Amino acid sequence: MKPVHRKPCVIANWKMHGSRQMLEIWLKQYVSGLPEENPVEVVLCPPAVYLSEARLYLNQLAKKGRIQLGAQNSYAEMTGAFTGEISPSMIREMGCHYVLAGHSERRQIFSEDDTLIARKVWAAYHADLTPIICVGETTEERNQGKTLEVICRQLAAVLPEEQLRLDPRVMVAYEPVWAIGTGLTATPLQAEEVHVAIREWLAARNRKVANEARLLYGGSVKPGNVKALLMQPNIDGVLVGSASLNAQEFLSICMACRQ
Ligand code: 13P
C-alpha cells in the first residue's frame, strides 16, 4: 500500500501537437468523461500558447479543479532580454502549478545541459512552480549497465541540495530515452528498479522529502500498460506523451490509475 499523501498523478505532455480546436474538444470530452470523485491528480501541459485559453475553458466548464495546468518549458530567469523565452513567473501567472524540466527532447534537440536545467529548476521553485524533473538513460547507457549511475548523476546535477533541505515539493519523472515515442515501455520491474534508486538517492539527502516525493514513469504509457506500472510500490504516476492527445485514451489511463 502506498502512502496516501502520494496522490497518484497523471500528466499529459502534448509536446508540439494540438490546435485551438483540439484543445476545446479535448477538454470537453475529458471533463464530461470524468466521474465526480477523482482521486487522481491530473495535469495538462499543452503548448504554452494555449495555456490561457485552457484556463478560460476550464473556468467556463466550472470543474477546473479536476485538471491542473502545467507548462512544458520555462526559462531560468524571471524577466529580461531573452527573446522567445517564457519565464516561470509568467507561467505561474497563467494559473500553472507545474513545469517540465530536463525532458530528454530539450536535452537532445535543444542542447540543454545540466547547468541550464539546474538554473531552470531553481527558477521554477522560486516562482512557486513545481518542476517535474525528467531523467532517463539512453539505450547505450542501459546496455553498458550504467542506468542507475546516469540517473543519479542527472539528479545530482539539477536538484539543488538546498532545495532538498527546504522544500518537500519534489517530483521526478523517470523517462528512459529508448522508451519515448518508440512503443517500447520499460517493464514494471525495470521502472521500479530505477524508481527505488531515485527514492534512495533522495532519502540519503532528506528522508521526509524522499517519502513525500512523487515519482512518475514516462515512455510509451498506454491504457494497456499503465495499471501494471502503477502497481509498483514506488511508481506514483505517469507522464504521457502520444496517448494523451486522444481524450478518451487519456481518460482510460486516468481511470486505470485510481487505486
Ligand atoms: P510517449 O508517451 O509518446 O512515449 O512520450 C513520453 C514523453 O516524452 C512524455 O513526456
Would you write out the chain's pLDDT as a tens digit for each of its 259 residues? 677 778 999 999 999 999 999 999 999 999 888 877 778 999 999 999 999 999 998 888 766 558 999 999 999 999 999 999 999 999 999 999 999 999 999 999 999 999 999 999 999 999 999 999 999 999 999 999 999 999 999 999 998 787 777 766 899 999 999 999 898 899 999 999 999 999 999 999 999 899 999 999 999 999 999 999 999 999 999 999 999 999 999 999 999 988 6
CA distance 108 to 240: 19
**CA–CA distances in Å: residue 249 to residues 107, 178, 254:** 28, 22, 9
Q: Is the CB of 230 under 6 A from ligand 1?
A: no
Per-residue pLDDT at 65: 58
**Angular region, 246: left φ>0, alpha ψ -120 to 50, beta rest:** beta
* Amino acid residing at 180: I
pLDDT of residue 5: 79
Q: Please state, in angstroms and as integers, the Cα–Cα distance from residue 69 to each residue in 16, 45, 159, 226, following that order.
A: 16, 6, 22, 22
For ligand 1, mutation pick of 239, 245, 246, 250 (most atoms within 8 Å of CB): 239
Cell matching residue 42: 491530473
Residue 38 Cα to ligand 1 middle (Å): 23
- Give the pLDDT confidence score for residue 2 in this predicted structure: 76
pTM for the whole thing? 0.95
d(CA 181, CA 24): 25
**Residue-level pLDDT at 232:** 96
- Grid-cell match 501541459, residue found: 45
Instruction: Give me the pLDDT at residue 32, please.
Output: 87
Residue 219 CA to ligand 1 centre (angstroms):
5
Q: Are strands 96-101 and 130-135 parallel, antiparallel or unpaired?
A: parallel
Residue 148 carries which side chain, given as an amino acid letter?
L
Lookup: cell for 140: 547505450
For residue 63, what pLDDT is reported? 64
DSSP string, the chain: ---TTS--EEEEE-TT---HHHHHHHHHHHHHHS-S---SEEEEE--GGGHHHHHHHHHHHT-GGGSEEEES---SSSSSS-TT---HHHHHHTTEEEEEES-HHHHHHS---HHHHHHHHHHHHHTT-EEEEEE---HHHHHTT-HHHHHHHHHHHHS-HHHHHH----EEEE--GGGTTSS----HHHHHHHHHHHHHHHHTT-HHHHHH-EEEEESS--TTTHHHHHTSTT--EEEESGGGSSHHHHHHHHHHT--
Q: Is 181 in the pocket of ligand 1 (CB under 6 A)?
A: yes
The verdict on the CB of residue 10 being under 6 Å from ligand 1 is: no
Domains and CATH numbers, the chain: 9-256 (3.20.20.70)
Any catalytic annotation for residue 175? Answer: yes
Please say whether the beta carbons of 11 and 98 come within 8 A.
Answer: yes
pLDDT of residue 58: 86
136 lines ligand 1 (CB under 6 A): no
Q: Burial level of 77, CB count in 10 A (0-12/13-18/19+)?
A: middle
CA of 43 to the centre of ligand 1 (A): 14
Beta bridge partners of 174: 135, 217
Q: Name the residue of 10, 11, 13 whose CB sits within 8 Å of the most ligand 1 atoms, as the mutation to test its pocket.
A: 13
What is the rounded CA–CA span in Å between residue 239 and residue 134? 10
> How far apart (Å, rounded) are the C-alpha atoms in residues 153 and 223?
31
Query: Which residue's CA is the closest to the ligand 1 atom numbered 9?
Result: 241
Residue 259: its pLDDT value, please? Answer: 64
Q: How many Å apart are CA 3 and CA 127, to the nearest integer? A: 28
103 is catalytic: yes
